[in-house]
Amino acid sequence: MKIGSISLKINNSINLLILLFLIVLVFAFDSFKSISTQLHTLLPKSEQKELLQEFNAFQSTKKILLSVKGFDENALNTIKKLEQTLIQIEALSLESFKPNSALEKYKKEYRFYIHDFQDNTIETLDINTQLESLKSNILNADFSYVVDQQDPLNLLTKEKKPDSLSFLNGHLILKDYGYLSVFNLDSSLQSLQQYEHIYDSIHTVISSNEEIKVFSPIFYFVENSRMIKEDVNKIIFFSTLVLLALYILILRNLKLLLNTLMTLTSSILLALLLTSFIFDTLSIFVIVFGISISTVAIDYMFHHYVHHHYNEKKAFNKEVFLGMITSLGAFFILSFIAFDLIKQLCFFAIISLLFSYIQFAFLYPKIGFLQKNNSLSTLRKSSVTIPPKRIIVFSLVLIALSFTYMKFDSNLENLDVNNTQLKETEAFFNRHLTLEKNIPVLIKASSIDELISHARTLKKAFPKANIPLSILVDEKEFPLKKSALKNKPLDSIKMQLEEKASLFGFQKNYFINAYTYPLENPNYSLETLKRLNLDVLPYKNDFITYAYLPENKKEAFYAYGFLQNLSLKDMFEKSLVALYNELIFYGVLTMAFIVFMVVFSTKRNYLISFCYIVFPLSIVLSLSFLMSFNILHLFMMFILLSISIDFGIYMAAKNINKNSYKAVLYSLLSTFAGFGVLVFSHINALFSIGIIATLGIVAVTFLLILLKRSSYDAQNI
């Protein structure tokens, strides 16, 4: 008697013990740390993805712009005070816009290699006129006239200064707006936590208003991530409410409710723990998706519960096992696709579903739950029913039609939060700084000299582009330029200049440094480039640097093989194209496995089972008449398929009864709690999941009411 009582107590608390054990493990291994809200975590592993992360390490991507409206003394004092406060924040420093002395020295030394000669200036050169004009300028200057002693005759083209930066009262200004400050963020800052710290520190000092504007590209990371988290929390709250309502109104079994919640939480924690061991980072979408998939496991509990497996001694429930094994099998086959996002989702789903199934099928009958009657009756069959064959034909026609309309939106950025406020602030700064719409690219080469050569090639093709490294002369170009300089009559010009200068009153040897240039090839190392304040990073056996190229010339510049495209959209499309054969192969394999399992499980009733698969699929695909499909729509269709398989197998079972309908109805409600509620999300990614789930649920409900099923319908319950 005592042993029986102890065993009952253990059974009752084993669920809680497992949950506590998993909580300890998840915190011990800090599994939550691996969750990332960054979109690039959706991309498969590739060199480009690594390069995108490398690009984020460049200093140029980490600037903070601050502007105070107005050009009066108040505005100047305000911005100066803000500067003083903000530089107290660790890792934040004020950009001085002081020219880098090492770079200035380099530019001066290699000026004749960097700049070209103006057209026909040598041929039409009149040294007397030039000297006369120079003398006049010196004598009539208001302050002091700076003579260009290297090129006093103005033979070279001049370096164009960026016209976007202006100063007033010794301070940087935004044209037509007010004073501007630019801050640098320490390049070591990489994590979201560090970005959040900076973001919060800045916003405690600056409460953004019409007069003060502040922007940084890192704000997108922080704000978007918070918006996603806020939305996800709301959805989880709403989902929990729906689930609670489901239990309180329908099941009315508190013990079962608590145990189910514990099982689901444990399954999510275990899945998170194990997938975080396999993958360095887990996309937040995988977590949200995974949590939703885990709630599908409630089906297993419902079927066992309504068929009295928890209050009576019953044989093994074959249908639930077959449904589970079919879903797991489908995820297992899909997990072979070499795309981290799919792999993460599949592993998460397999672990959570299997864990929940084991508990619902084997632990719960041991714990034992009394079945309580509820006041809600199951769905009534309509007096009009449709034979399965008609539903299948209709579905196949609709699927075929949908495919003719189907468009795929591969732009991952469309899945992200539409942070309009921050986008407006960014547009404001771009407008006032008259920045052209440029997009970042990475230049990759096997040596520093080759990297410089690529940068210069690009600069020649796109003169307006911002390519910092193109200021340098590369190893190959140097001898060519040197021989071109030797072929110009510079020595004779210099001799004449020195002779004539004395006649115009210039002091002796005043032009001694004119038209001289170094003959030695410049040597570059990472150290020297760092001194010149030029961003070059070693990457594996290569070197990389960045450039900003005009977006409207995208087609032209991507023709250069050494350029690495950093566009998420392009990367995603490329990876999908690369995976196309794999997706088709594993997709077909999964479908074949499902068909085999359905026929194997349902035998003569397989048409009913197929109805539950093709009809929801056709309804969901008909969305293509209204919108483009994105990657999450497609993933959700796979999930819907696995849920439909479960329903198909249950509803085509020989021993179907009122309880089977009840179980499917409960499952539908719980699926809505898991996935359907996402339809209320403001984030396109989550909405995409929600809309598919909701349509799927509607389709299955339709089948429950209208699908003709000879054996059960005859009972007319």
Partner 1 sequence: MYRILVLFFIFTLSGWCEPIHFKETRYINALQTTLYKEGWINIHEDSLELHYPKEKKSFLFTRDAIIEKKGEEEKILTYEEHLGLTIFSKLIKSIYTNQPDELKEFFTLKKEKGITLLIPNEPISNSVDTIEYKKNHALLEFLKINFTNEDWINIVENK
N-terminal to C-terminal alpha carbon distance within the chain: 43
Contacting residue, 63, 69, 111, 171, with partner 1 by CB under 8 A? 171
Q: Is 176 in the site for partner 1 (CB under 8 A)?
A: no
Q: Helices 631-651 & 318-334, crossing angle to 10 degrees?
A: 160
Q: For tokens 């700049």, what's the residue?
A: 115
Nearest to 639 by CA among 701, 695, 576: 695
Angle between helices 684-706 and 606-621 (to 10 degrees): 140
Q: Which of 5, 144, 375, 420 binds partner 1 (CB under 8 A)?
A: 144
Rounded Cα distance, 6 and 297, in Å:
29
Does 138 interact with partner 1 (rule: CB under 8 A)?
yes
Residue 510 CB, nearest approach to partner 1 (Å): 6
Cα 542 to Cα 534: distance, rounded to the nearest angstrom = 16
The stretch among 34-42, 94-102, 115-123, 603-611 that binds partner 1 (CB under 8 A) is 94-102
3-state secondary structure of 71: coil
* Interatomic CA distance for residues 468 and 638, integer angstroms: 47
Q: CB-wise, 163 or 555, nearer to partner 1?
A: 163
Q: Does 139 bind partner 1 (CB under 8 A)?
A: yes
Looking at residue 524, its amino acid is: Y
Q: Structure tokens of 451?
A: 């990297």
Piece of 40-48, 458-466, 505-513, 593-601 that binds partner 1 (CB under 8 A): 505-513
> Under the criterion CB under 8 A, does residue 96 sit at the interface with partner 1?
yes
Q: Does 111 participate in binding partner 1 (rule CB under 8 A)?
A: no
Between residues 180 and 291, which has the closer beta carbon with respect to partner 1?
180
> Among 131-139, 191-199, 277-285, 361-369, which window interacts with partner 1 (CB under 8 A)?
131-139
Distance, C-alpha 211 to centroid of its chain: 32
Residues β-bridged to residue 477: none
Stretch that binds partner 1, among 91-99, 234-242, 332-340, 659-667 (CB under 8 A): 91-99
Contact call for residue 166 and partner 1 (CB under 8 A): yes
Of 42-50, 93-101, 422-430, 527-535, the segment contacting partner 1 by CB under 8 A is 93-101
Work out whether strand 282-283 and strand 171-174 pair parallel, antiparallel, or are unpaired. unpaired
Q: Taking the complex as a whole, how short is the minimal distance between the CB of residue 95 and partner 1, in angstroms? A: 12
List b or e across 568-596, with b for residues whose CB sees 16 or more CB atoms inside 10 angstroms: beebbebbeeebeeebeebeeebeeebee
Provide CB contacts within 8 A for 552, sequence distance 6+: 437
162 sits near partner 1 (criterion: CB under 8 A):
no
Q: Where are the alpha helices (DSSP H) in 115-191?
A: 127-140
- Sites for partner 1 among residues 35-54 (CB under 8 A): none
Q: Which of 368, 463, 479, 505 binds partner 1 (CB under 8 A)?
A: 505
State which residue, 13 or 136, has the beta carbon closest to partner 1.
136
Q: Judged by CB under 8 A, does residue 161 bind partner 1? A: no
Please give the DSSP secondary-structure letter assigned to residue 361.
I
Structure tokens at 241: 């409410």
Candidate list 120, 373, 507, 716; residue touching partner 1; CB under 8 A: 507
Q: Does 506 participate in binding partner 1 (rule CB under 8 A)?
A: yes
Q: What number of other Cβ atoms are within 10 A of residue 360's Cβ? A: 27
Under the binding rule (CB under 8 A), the answer on residue 142 touching partner 1 is yes
Which of 45, 63, 107, 135 forms a contact with partner 1 (CB under 8 A)?
135
The β-bridge partners of 538 are 543
Q: Does 273 bind partner 1 (CB under 8 A)?
A: no
Q: Does 170 bind partner 1 (CB under 8 A)?
A: yes
Q: How far is the CB of 153 from partner 1 (least distance, A)?
A: 14
* By CB under 8 A, residue 503 contacts partner 1: no
Q: How far is the CB of 637 from partner 1 (least distance, A)?
A: 60
CA angle 673–677–683, rounded 5-degree value: 145
Among the listed residues 16, 168, 248, 406, the single contact to partner 1 using CB under 8 A? 168
Interaction between residue 147 and partner 1 (CB under 8 A): yes
The amino acid occupying position 146 is: V
Determine the residue type at 537. Answer: L
Residue 137: CB minimum distance to partner 1, A: 10
CA angle 131, 137, 140 (to 5 degrees): 140
Rg (CA), the chain: 35
Q: Is 67 helix (H, G, I), strand (E, B) or coil?
A: strand
Assess 4 for contact with partner 1 (CB under 8 A): no
74 binds partner 1, rule: CB under 8 A: no
One of 169, 188, 209, 420 touching partner 1 (CB under 8 A)? 169
Binding letters toward partner 1, positions 345-374, x by CB under 8 A:
------------------------------
Rounded to the nearest 5°, which phi and psi values hold at 441? -135, 160
- Minimum Å gap between C-beta 33 and partner 1 is 43
DSSP E strand boundaries for 236-385: 282-283
Selected from 27, 32, 167, 237, the binder of partner 1 by CB under 8 A is 167
Instruction: Tell me which residues touch partner 1 (CB under 8 A).
Output: 71, 96, 98-99, 135, 138-139, 142-144, 146-147, 166-171, 505-507, 510
